[in-house]
Structures are given as structure tokens and as C-alpha cells.
Amino acid sequence: MDDEILRLRSHGHPAVRGTHGKTLEFAVEPDITARATCVLGVATTVLGDPVPPVAGPLRLTITARGISATVHALGNSLWRPGTTAVVRRSAERLPNTLATDADTAAADLPRELVHALTDPDTEVDVQVERAPGPEHGTLVRYWAAPGHDPRLAVECAAADVILAEDREARAALAAYDALGASGASGARPTRSARDAEAAAREALAEGGRILTVAAAAVPGPLPPLFEKTARPTVEALNLPPELALSVVSPVRAERLLATEVPPREVPRLVAAHPGAAVTFRCAAEELPRVLAEVDRPAGSRTVGVAEASLPGAERPWWGPVAELDWSGRGEVVCQVDPVETPAGAGVTAVDPAGLVAALLEQSVSTRTIAMALAAQPGWSRRTAYDFVLKATGGQKS
């Protein structure tokens, strides 16, 4: 298979500066101003497939007057040929973004290359190639909306294996196959469960890209066949943040949506519903504290975490709390999976109101009651103290 998936042909411009530290851009417009410090070329055209498989790891080679530079990034299947091509260091996926998570911005390019780009007679060649994927491959969970979906066509073209999760999805995939989106390796929707497992295992072992598509309903938890493989990188496309977390986790449990609950109340809520997957929102800086309170009584859990925005939730994280290293900012959405109870062990639920009332009848001090409540699963000292004060009408003893 040819690694080249796309080629851009652009032209130099006297206003090219190449000093932007976060992006680089090839504009379709024929003219720019000196304020466009990220633009490296103008009047950009696209050569190649009308549905280029722009998804997954990419290698971009920028060449002008014999001088070249290489950029590694992640393709964005929202991008359409014929529009400006922006490459970002950030993970923000916008319609004009060709690729994200780049290791290079305009300011990082060799100055001799940037100087060559200031000549309007310079022709700029940008070769976009497929690059090796993550060690354990990539699994794309896609929710297909009714009607024509150009993004699905791109994802089909980029996939090594395509799996339909329902009959409606199979029909949609057949339509895109007719449009020429047949997959990176001639992939077609796999028909039997045995074929699906074998093809997926092989592709993931080689760092490939697996596309699963649901159309009749929102995709469910991670399919069982992927639970038997090393954990792949997961992308959740066309799904709101809360649902993105449900498709990255293999845990099958009742889901409790608690996005309006204050973060300090989450540990108590999790403890009160030990068999449910609890989803909540909080500021990124609050997340470690909340999860520490959740883990304290029951041991380490698995959680899913994503940015609380539609573009940001496309690449959710899932795994044990101890492995979480979240560097993002702003608001996040988190799903706490239920704890697996050992065989023969029971879960004892405590009625907090009854406990407080019984201890008050025994003339136990509010401070002692709060400490006793804080020792229960899911309670912190602060939430316990607030609960006791509310139960006693704010009276201390």
C-alpha cells in the first residue's frame, strides 16, 4: 500500500513570516497580510484522492527549493480538501484543521526554508503520508447520523478493518463503499464474528485502525472482542462527552448521570450506588482530589476522562485511577466505573440519616458523628460534617 494519502501544492508569498509557535497553515487564498504568521503558502490546491483518508498518525514533508522539513501529527477526518489546511500543536479539531498534536509549528521550521517561502515564485510541495500508529492500534467508535456523512466516508477510507454494530450501520457502510471509501487496505465490513475478531486482532497488533459504526442506537460499551486485546487508543466520534466515556469503557453497568451534582458530593454518590457507573463534571484541577476520595474506601477503580466539549471528547482516556495523568485544563467529564466485588463479599449500605439520628439519641457529639460518617465509603470529612450540621439544624455539640 502506498503511504502517500494526499499532496498539497502551494506557493510562496512575500508576507510569509513563519513565526507562529502553535500552528502552521497552507491557505487557499492567493493573498495574506504580515499578521498571518502561521501561513507558509498561499493559493493551495489538493492533488490526489477526492476522499483522502486523513485520519490517524500522519507524516507531512514540506519541500521548497530543495529544502525540506518533516512534521508528525494526527489527521483530522473533519477536514475537507479545498479548504485551508491548518496543522496545530493542540488537540483542537476544527473543520479547517488538517492535523492536530503536531510536533512542529511554523516557528520551528528551518529559517532557510521559511526564507524560500517568501518568494512568490517558489512552489511548495507538501506530501502527506500515513505514519505508524500506536503500539496497540486505534479503535474508532463512530455514531453515524442519518443521511450523507462526509466524515464517515473519510474514516472508512482510513480504516484497516470496518465493523458494523447494527443493520442500519451495515447499510450506511455499503453506501459509502459505493462512493469509493473502501478502507486503507481494501477493508470491507466484516461479516462473521470469527472473522471480525481475527481481523481486528491482527490489525491492532500491527498498530492498525479499526472502525466500528453504530447507526440504530448510540454505541454501547467496548465490544467484548476488544477486551481480550491490549488496550488500544480509542476515539469516539459524533458523541457528546458523557456518551463518549461510555463507549471507551468495557464495563457493562447501569449509568448514573450526575453532571449537575457538585464535585464534593460525588464520592458519597458513588458509594451510594456501588453497582453503577457514575458520570460527573468538574474542573480539571479538582479531578485528582475527587478521585482520591472515591478510591479511598474501595480501592483503585477504573475511570474514563475527557474534555467536556464535543471536539475535546473525541479522544477519551480510560484506565485505572493510578495511571491517570491528565494535563488538560478547563472542565472535564469523568465516569467512575463500579468496583468489582470479590466473590462471596457483600456490599453493606449505610443509611446516613438513620446513623446520625441513632447516634444523636445516644448523646454522641456532632463531631464524633461526623468522624464516624467520614469513615464510611464515599464520605469525606467535609461532606460528613456538612451533612451532620444540616441534620442537626446547624447545632454543634
- CATH of range 4-130; options 3.40.30.10, 3.40.190.10, 2.60.120.10, 2.60.120.630: 2.60.120.630
Q: What is the pLDDT of residue 355?
A: 65
The domain limits of the chain are 4-130, 133-238, 240-343, 352-393
Rounded to the nearest angstrom, the gap between the alpha carbon of residue 184 and the centroid of all alpha carbons in its chain is 22
The larger pLDDT score, comparing residue 327 to residue 341, is at 327
Q: Say which amino acid occupies 291.
A: L
Q: What is the pLDDT of residue 378?
A: 55
Q: Which tens digits make up the pLDDT trace of 378-394?
A: 566 777 777 788 777 76
Q: What is the pLDDT of residue 99?
A: 98
Q: What is the pLDDT of residue 343?
A: 43
Q: What is the pLDDT of residue 340?
A: 65
Q: What is the pLDDT of residue 372?
A: 64
CATH 3.40.1010 fits 133-238, yes or no: yes
The backbone torsions φ and ψ at residue 289, rounded to the nearest 5 degrees and listed phi first, read: -65, -45
Please report, rounded to a whole number, the percentage of residues in the chain having pLDDT higher than 90. Answer: 49
Q: Which band of pLDDT confidence, cut at 50, 70 and 90, is reported for residue 189? A: low
Considering the domain delimited by 240-343, tell me its CATH architecture: 2-Layer Sandwich (3.30)
Question: What rounded mean pLDDT belongs to the chain?
Answer: 85
Q: Residue 97: pLDDT above 80?
A: yes
Q: Which tens digits make up the pLDDT trace of 266-301?
A: 998 998 888 899 999 999 999 999 999 887 765 678
Q: Residue 183: pLDDT above 50?
A: no
Q: Contact at 8 Å (CB) between 267 and 381? A: no
- A 10 A CB-CB count for 7 gives 16
- A 10 A CB-CB count for 381 gives 13
Q: What is the CA radius of gyration of the chain?
A: 26
Q: How far apart are CA 62 and CA 64, in angstroms?
A: 7
Q: Which tens digits make up the pLDDT trace of 330-384?
A: 999 999 999 764 444 444 445 667 667 766 776 767 877 776 666 555 566 777 7
